[in-house]
């Protein structure tokens, strides 16, 4: 029996970045179950998706509700949510803040296909474990 595809929710306000993330994902392994352009959309999409996404990629700088607030809201709703921040904000302070509110990993832009796939694999293996 073939393993089920991992379900991913992409949260990113820049369309070229959303497309890049989508292109980087191995579509044999991953299924994009939702796309959100800000934190408000991210939280409502996360809540309405059934079954829940296996992983959420989260931008930090967005209109309306930023990624930090969205992480807090998603984690409040589902403490087991797995969230990877993908952000151009490269300071340790930004990373620490994201991790403190519940992000599981932090990738800096620009990143490679290998960075992304290694990070997702690591988190999904830990989630299974």
Each residue's pLDDT tens digit, 7-30: 999 999 999 999 999 999 988 999
Q: Is residue 31 part of a domain?
A: yes
DSSP annotation string for 46-109: HHH-SSPPSEEEE-S--SSS-HHHHHHHHHHH-TT--EEEEES--SHHHHHHHHHHT-SEEEES
Domain count, the chain: 1
Domain around 11: 6-128
Is the separation of the CB atoms in 28 and 3 below 8 Å?
no
Cα–Cα dist 123/115, whole Å: 12
CATH code of the domain covering residue 116: 3.40.50.2300
pLDDT digits (tens, 9 = 90+) for 74-126: 999 999 999 999 999 989 999 999 999 999 999 999 999 999 999 999 999 99
Answer yes or no: is 75 within a domain. Answer: yes
Confirm whether 1 is domain-assigned: no
pTM for the complete prediction?
0.94
Tell me, yes or no, whether 102 lies in a domain. yes
């Amino acid at each position: 029996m073939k393993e089920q595809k991992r379900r991913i929710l992409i949260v990113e306000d820049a369309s070229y970045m959303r497309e890049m993330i989508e292109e980087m994902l191995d579509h044999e392994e991953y299924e994009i179950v939702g796309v959100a352009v800000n934190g408000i959309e991210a939280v409502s999409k996360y809540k309405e998706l059934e079954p829940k996404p296996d992983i959420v990629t989260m931008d930090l700088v967005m209109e309306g509700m930023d990624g930090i607030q969205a992480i807090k809201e998603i984690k409040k709703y589902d403490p087991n949510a797995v969230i990877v921040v993908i952000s151009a904000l490269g300071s340790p302070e930004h990373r620490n803040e994201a991790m403190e509110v519940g992000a599981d990993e932090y990738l800096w832009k620009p990143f490679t296909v290998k960075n992304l796939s290694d990070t997702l694999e690591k988190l999904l293996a830990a989630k299974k474990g």
